[in-house]
């Protein structure tokens, strides 16, 4: 199997379909896993809270598990834990559990976790002819992780101030401000972007609603730093860890975008939900069909 999160179609076929002990809505909320990074504690908290706050009315706490090998020091563990806790306090969420597991032969540390909530997931069903809106810039989390952990290499090509700007977005991954805006705009589907990037989110959205889509690639919000970093490492930014952005469908796309931009949040209508099964991506004169993303680009270099 490919490295990283199990592909959505395989997960539904081999995991979700075979779980009979919980409701479909509860099983539908998947855990977040963040690969090795010196800031993976912070990214994990943002990723978990972003994914959960869009689906549940209240988060009671976040539970994390850090997996390391015997070469990691206690100082390293403390750094990851403190970074996660500072991030949780910043967005007013408590860490209610934090396990650390030492595993012999583990190549690289990683962190995983989930949120404890008070309610089931909201229904998610994109409707034909609705606008597809991205709120926030894609691939921010992946860009920040790469800039942090490949800093020395990137400094041979880019200025220190440029790389520092890319690093800094790791502390701006919360979608809570956007959540305050979207409730009044006839949202029928919403999801926080995460592993697999915007392409993964588009595929899952269409698959969930049994609909097609048409997306203009050039309309997807993306930072210039992301473009440059991904070009340098030959990574597809549209399949890169994208914690910090949301995908929604609504009949009021332009109005929602205007409201977000007025609050200083990047947003754009990127396409439409269609009644066919075709998932079409348009890039100027080129048209292609969306395919299921394979390994997230973050695993290629971390």
For residue 123, pLDDT beyond 70: no
Instruction: Tell me what pLDDT residue 16 has.
Output: 66
For the chain, list the domains and their CATH numbers.
31-117 (3.30.1330.10), 131-301 (3.90.650.10)
Instruction: Tell me what pLDDT residue 113 has.
Output: 92
For residue 296, pLDDT beyond 90: no
Closest by CA position to 80, among listed 104, 94, 102, 100: 100
Residue with the larger pLDDT of the pair 116 and 76: 76
DSSP string for residues in 24-76: HHHHTSPPEEE-S-TTHHHHHHHHHHHHHHTT-S-EEEEEEEEEE-TTS-HHH
For residue 5, pLDDT beyond 80: no
Instruction: Tell me what pLDDT residue 186 has.
Output: 86
For residue 24, pLDDT beyond 90: no
Q: What is the pTM of this model?
A: 0.86
The region of weakest confidence among 61-65, 134-138, 258-262 is: 61-65
Instruction: Tell me what pLDDT residue 31 has.
Output: 65
Instruction: Tell me what pLDDT residue 26 has.
Output: 45
Q: Span 157-176, mean pLDDT?
A: 95
């Amino acid at each position: 199997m490919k490295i990283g999160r199990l592909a959505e179609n395989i997960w539904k076929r081999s995991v979700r379909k075979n779980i009979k002990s919980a409701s479909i809505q509860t099983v539908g909320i998947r855990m977040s896993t963040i690969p090795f990074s010196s800031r993976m504690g912070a990214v994990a908290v943002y990723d978990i809270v972003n994914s959960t706050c869009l689906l549940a009315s209240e988060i009671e706490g976040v539970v994390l598990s850090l997996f390391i090998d015997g070469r990691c020091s206690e100082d390293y563990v403390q750094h990851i834990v403190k970074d996660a806790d500072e991030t949780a306090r910043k967005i007013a969420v408590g860490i209610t559990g934090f396990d650390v597991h030492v595993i012999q032969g583990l190549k690289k540390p990683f962190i995983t976790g989930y949120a404890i909530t008070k309610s089931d997931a909201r229904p998610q069903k994109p409707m034909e002819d609705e606008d597809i809106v991205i709120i926030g810039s894609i691939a921010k989390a992946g860009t920040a992780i790469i800039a942090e952990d490949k800093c020395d290499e990137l400094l041979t090509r880019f200025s220190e101030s440029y790389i520092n700007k890319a690093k800094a977005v790791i502390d701006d991954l919360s979608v809570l401000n956007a959540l305050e805006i979207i409730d009044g705009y006839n949202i029928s589907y919403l999801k926080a972007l995460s592993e697999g990037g915007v392409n993964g989110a588009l595929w899952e959205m269409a698959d969930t609603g049994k609909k097609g889509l048409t997306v203009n690639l050039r309309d997807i919000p993306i930072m210039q730093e992301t473009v440059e970093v991904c070009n340098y490492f030959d990574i597809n930014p549209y399949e890169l860890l994208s914690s910090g952005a949301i995908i929604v469908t609504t009949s009021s796309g332009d109005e929602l975008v205007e409201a977000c931009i007025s609050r200083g949040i990047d947003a754009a209508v990127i396409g439409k939900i269609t009644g066919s099964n075709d998932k079409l991506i348009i890039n100027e004169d080129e048209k292609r069909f969306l395919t299921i993303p394979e390994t997230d680009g973050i695993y290629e270099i971390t």
